[in-house]
Amino acid sequence: MTAPSLTALSVMSLLSLGYLSQDWTGLNQVEHEQPSHPRPHIIFIMTDDQGFNDIGYHNRDIHTPTLDKLAAEGVKLENYYIQPICTPSRSQFITGRYQIHTGLQHSIIRSRQPSCLPFDLRTLPQRLQEAGYATHMVGKWHLGFYKRDCLPTRRGFHTYFGSLTGSVDYYTYKSCDGPGICGYDLHEGERVAWGQGGRYSTHLYTQRVRKILAAHDPSSQPLFIFLSFQAVHMPLQSPRGYIYPYRRMGNVFRRKYAGMVSAVDEAVRNVTYALRKYGYYKNSVIIFSTDNGGQPLFGGSNWPLRGKKGTYWEGGVRGIGFVHSPLLRRRKRVSKALVHITDWYPTLVGLAGGNVSWMDGLDGYDMWETISNGKESPRLEILHNIDPLYNAARHGSLKNGYGIWNTAVQAAVRVGDWKLLTGNPGHGDWIPPQILGNFPESWWNLERHTEERKSLWLYNVADDPYERYDLAERRPDVVKQLLARLAFYNRTAVPVRYPSEDPRADPRRNGGAWGPWEGGEENWEAFYLRKSKVKKRKPKFCKMKSFFRRLNIRMMSNKI
C-alpha cells in the first residue's frame, strides 16, 4: 500500500484543517445566478438497478452506443453517488433531502404499506411548476400510493403514465408483493391503464415520451420530463432481438440483462431523436442516472467496485451518471467533482430560474457551475444514510465508537476522500462479471464472512476506490471526526416512518389492480374504471415460488 493512501486527508486536508470542528449546524443555503439562456427543457432519465460496470464506456462488452456518445459529448460524472436501493434514491432526487430528513431511512416503501413522501415537502416538479414548467412523469414511481394525495399527479406532475410499485412484469404489468398478493400495475394519471398487456415497458414508456414531445410547443413553455425506466430491474425480460448480439455470453442471466441495457440505449436514442425533430434539443439538458448499484445475482455488475445493490459499499452507492446539453460551457470531459443525487433538486430549480437560497432543509447543492464550467464542487461530504431499524451489528457498541457513536447502527458517511461505515453495511464481495455459464455458487461467498466481527471501517476512497485497505485502526483520529459527523446528522433526523402492511391494499379487494386504498369518500370506481370487467376476467394471482422470487423478497426485507 502506498504512503499517500495512509496520509492523504483529501480535499485540502480538510480534517487536519479543522473542517469537521466548524459549526456546520446550519442547513445548506444554495444560490444560483439567473441563467443567460431561456429556461431549458429538462429530460431526466433514470434506470433501475444498472450497475457501475453496465454501460459501454465502463465495459466494452456492453453495447450502449447512444449512451456512450451522449456521455462523451457531455460531462461524465465519475464521482457521482446515489442510494443503495430504489425508494431512497427516488425520494432524495425528488425532495433534495437525505432520507433521515424525510423519515424514509429504512428500506423501501412496499406496495401494502400506508406510506409515501411526506405531504409537507415541496417536490422538485412542484417547484418547476411554480417556475412555469409543464411537468410529466413516465415510468416507475415507487414513492407510495396508499392515498390519492401520494400519486405523482398530486406531487407535482401534470401527467403520469407508469407503474406505482417497485417491480412489475415487463409485458403483463403484474406486480406481486409476496406469494398470492398480486395485481395489475399500469396507470394513466390517477386511473388504471387497462389493455396495455403485451407491450414491452421500455418501448411503451419511450413511445409515451415521444408523444408528449410531439404534442407540446417547445417555444411556448419549458418542459420537464422524468423518464423513470423500470429496466433493468428484474424480472429479466427483453425482446429476443436485443439478446441476440450477446449470444456468446455463457451466463444466461448476464446475457438477458445485457439485452435489457441495450433496449434502454435504443430507447434513449429514440428520445433524443424526438428532441431534435420537434425543436427541443438546442435548449435542452439531458441527465442520465441510475438509481442504485447493480444486483450481480440477476445479471448486474459493479466490477471492480466492492459490494452490490442494497449495500453501502461503493458498488451499491456509486452510480452511473452524465449530463448532455448544448448549454454546457465545457463539454467532452470527465468530472471528478463530488455529486450526490440530492443535488439535482437545487441544480434544476436553479436552471429553471428559481431561487432556492431561502429554502430550509435542502441537503443538495446547486452543481450547475461545477458541471457546466468545471468549477470546484461545493459539496464536501455525503451522508449515505443512518438506519436505526436495520439489523444491528452483533459486535458493534458505543465503546467501539469511542463513546461518540454506537457502531452497531448501520450508517455510512463520506467527508472529503474519507469514507466511514458502521454496523452492517451489507455483503462486501468483489464480484467479477458473470461470464461463465455454470457460475459456481461458492463464488458468492468470496470474502463475505471474513470480517463478521467488525462493525467499523474507514477507507480513503480516492486512493482506494475498491475499498480493500481498511484504515480504521491506523487512523483513529479520522475515525473519531467522522463518527462525530454521524452523531451530528443523527441529531437532525426525523423519526423513521415504516408502518405495518395494510390488508386493505390487496388488489383482490380493489378490482384486481394496485392503487390507493385509503381515502374516505372518494370515488374508487372511477379509479379502477373497469372493475366489473375484471371480475369476468378472473385475475391471475402470482404463483411464483421459485428461488428467484423468494430471494428477491428476502433481499428487500433487510436480509441483504
Separation between Cα atoms, residue 88 and residue 160, nearest integer Å: 20
Task: Place 85 in a pLDDT band, splitting at 50, 70 and 90.
Answer: very high
pLDDT band at 439 (very low <50, low <70, confident <90, very high): low
Which carries the bigger pLDDT value, residue 105 or residue 27?
105
**Residue 340, class by beta-carbon neighbours within 10 Å (0-12 exposed, 13-18 middle, 19+ buried)?**
buried
* Residue in 63, 142, 216, 427 annotated catalytic: 142
Positive/negative CA dihedral, 459, 463, 465, 469: negative
For domain 41-380, which architecture applies?
Answer: 3-Layer(aba) Sandwich (3.40)
pLDDT at 517: 97
> Which 8-state DSSP code applies to residue 447?
S
Q: What is the rounded CA–CA span in Å between residue 352 and residue 418? A: 34
Give the confidence band of 58 by pLDDT, cuts at 50, 70, 90. very high
Report d(CA 477, CA 459) in Å as an integer.
13
- Decide: 405 and 482 in contact? Cβ < 8 Å: no
Output DSSP code: residue 353. T
Residue 106 has pLDDT above 80, yes or no: yes
512-549 tens-digit pLDDT: 999 999 974 444 344 444 443 433 344 444 444 444 44
Residue 440 has pLDDT above 80, yes or no: no
pLDDT beyond 60 at 226: yes
Q: Is residue 2 pLDDT above 70, yes or no?
A: no
Distances (CA, A) of 377 to 100, 121, 518: 23, 26, 44
Least Cα distance to 201 among 229, 225, 179 occurs for 229
Interval 498-518 mean pLDDT: 97
User: Which pLDDT score is estimated for 186?
Assistant: 98
Is residue 182 among the annotated active site residues?
A: no
Q: What percent of the chain has pLDDT over 70?
A: 82
- Using the 8-state DSSP alphabet, how is residue 111 labeled? T
Specify the pTM.
Answer: 0.87
CATH of domain 385-492: 3.30.1120.10
Give the tens place of pLDDT for each residue, 338-370: 999 999 999 999 999 988 776 678 999 999 999
Is the pLDDT confidence value at 18 over 60?
Answer: no
Mean per-residue pLDDT of the chain:
87
**86 catalytically annotated:** yes
Q: What is the CA angle 185-146-191, rounded to 5?
A: 45
Output 10 or 268, whichever has higher pLDDT.
Answer: 268
Structural domain boundaries in the chain = 41-380, 385-492
Q: What is the pLDDT of residues 459-482, one digit of tens each?
A: 999 999 999 999 999 999 999 999
Supply the pLDDT for residue 443: 53
Burial per residue of 178-200, b for 16 or more beta-carbon CB atoms within 10 angstroms, e otherwise: eeebbbbbbbeebebbbebeeeb
Using 50, 70 and 90 to split pLDDT, how confident is the model at 451?
low
In sequence order, what DSSP letters do the residues of 389-417 get, joined into one string?
TSPPPTT--TTTTTTTS-TTSEEEEEETT
Average pLDDT over residues 32-38: 52
For residue 27, pLDDT over 50 is answered with no
pLDDT at position 431: 86
Which pLDDT score, from 0 to 100, does residue 441 have?
53
Instruction: List the strands of the sheet with 410-415, edge to edge.
Output: 381-387, 410-415, 418-422, 456-460
Q: What are the residue ranges of helices labelled H in 414-555?
A: 476-491, 524-528, 531-536, 547-555
User: Mean pLDDT highest for which of 182-191, 353-362, 551-560?
Assistant: 182-191
Catalytic residue among 86, 116, 182, 542: 86
- Examine the pLDDT at 175 and tell me if it is beyond 60: yes
Amino acid at 22: Q
End-to-end Cα distance, the chain: 30
Residue 361's region, left for phi above 0, alpha for psi from -120 to 50, else beta, is: left
What pLDDT is stored for residue 290 in this prediction?
98
Q: Of residues 445 and 87, which shows the higher confidence score? A: 87
Residues 354, 357, 362, 364, CA torsion sign: positive
Look at residue 427 in the predicted model and tell me its pLDDT.
86
The secondary element (H helix, E strand) that includes residue 203 is helix 201-215
Kindly state the average pLDDT of the residues 118-136.
97
Same CATH topology for 41-380 and 385-492? no
